[in-house]
């Protein structure tokens, strides 16, 4: 099954380093970053899980729960977590799904036909509190994921869900944003964007970030 943006994230029940996970129930009213790993004790993924743990405060600030998935069993995951904590100077405090039967990998289309049969591709799913898939990213095995970008995307999604704006190229917190083309009424513009705006073209209007 190929998942697309706007699809409901499939629910599942799977074992993990923190016990049995009923996914939708576990997610609750939080955003979720679900990311996959081809196997335990792999070098790039070790750094990624360490980075996720180090960014725990940033995820919590944004009401985001990270959860990882690998096809190896729980006891092996726990041994790997010890290595991650030791080598990355962190404390992994989020669950790692033990997807030995590849239930989650199959639901989320993480087994690529051009990859090894038991190796999940390195995917990222950003899922909102309504359990809707809002972003997907897939990385090659040799390239570590950019967690600054993952946080930036979450910031953009949360901002644009609350205000009638979009974020331009390379946007980051505090930068100007783009007013949605649907907002044309002068009264609404004044109410929504009291800091004013700059019209570059009729379809390109920039305004200071509304929630800053």
The CATH code of the domain at 13-145 is 3.40.30.10
pLDDT of residue 59: 98
Which is the catalytic residue, given 27, 32, 34, 45? 45
Burial of 176 (0-12, 13-18, 19+ CB in 10 A): middle
Burial of 146 (0-12, 13-18, 19+ CB in 10 A): middle
Interacting residues of 185 by C-beta distance below 8 A, sequence separation 6+: none
pLDDT digits (tens, 9 = 90+) for 62-103: 999 999 999 899 999 999 999 999 999 999 999 999 998 889
pLDDT of residue 131: 98
Q: Rounded to an integer, what distance in angstroms lies between the CA atom of residue 55 and that of residue 63?
A: 13
Q: CA neighbours within 13 Å on the CB side: how many for 137?
A: 18
Location of each CATH 3.40.30.10 domain in the chain: 13-145
Q: Where are the alpha helices (DSSP H) in 62-102?
A: 74-88
CATH 3.30.1020.10 fits 163-207, yes or no: yes
Location of each CATH 3.30.1020.10 domain in the chain: 163-207
pTM, two decimals, is 0.93
Q: Residue 136: in which H helix or E strand, if any?
A: strand 133-139
Q: Rounded to an integer, what distance in angstroms lies between the CA atom of residue 187 and that of residue 165?
A: 16
Known catalytic residue at 45 = yes
Residue 157 scores a pLDDT above 90: yes
């Amino acid at each position: 099954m190929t998942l697309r943006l706007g699809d409901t994230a499939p629910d599942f029940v799977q074992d993990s380093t923190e016990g049995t996970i009923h996914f939708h129930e576990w997610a609750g009213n939080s955003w979720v970053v679900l990311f996959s790993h081809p196997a335990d004790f792999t070098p790039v993924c070790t750094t990624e899980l360490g980075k996720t743990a180090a960014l725990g405060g940033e995820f919590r600030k944004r009401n985001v729960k990270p959860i990882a998935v690998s096809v190896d069993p729980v006891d092996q995951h726990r041994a790997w977590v010890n290595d991650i904590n030791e080598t990355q100077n962190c404390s992994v405090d989020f669950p790692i799904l033990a997807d030995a039967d590849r239930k989650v990998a199959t639901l989320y289309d993480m087994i690529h036909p051009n990859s090894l049969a038991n190796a999940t591709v390195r995917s990222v799913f950003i899922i909102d509190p309504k359990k809707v898939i809002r972003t997907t990213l897939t990385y090659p095995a040799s390239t570590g994921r950019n967690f600054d970008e993952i946080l930036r995307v979450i910031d953009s999604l949360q901002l644009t869900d609350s205000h009638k704006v979009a974020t331009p190229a390379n946007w980051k917190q505090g930068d100007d944003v783009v007013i949605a083309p649907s907002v044309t009424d002068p009264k609404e513009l004044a109410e929504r964007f009291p800091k004013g705006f700059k019209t570059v073209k009729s379809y390109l209007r920039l305004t200071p970030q509304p929630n800053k």
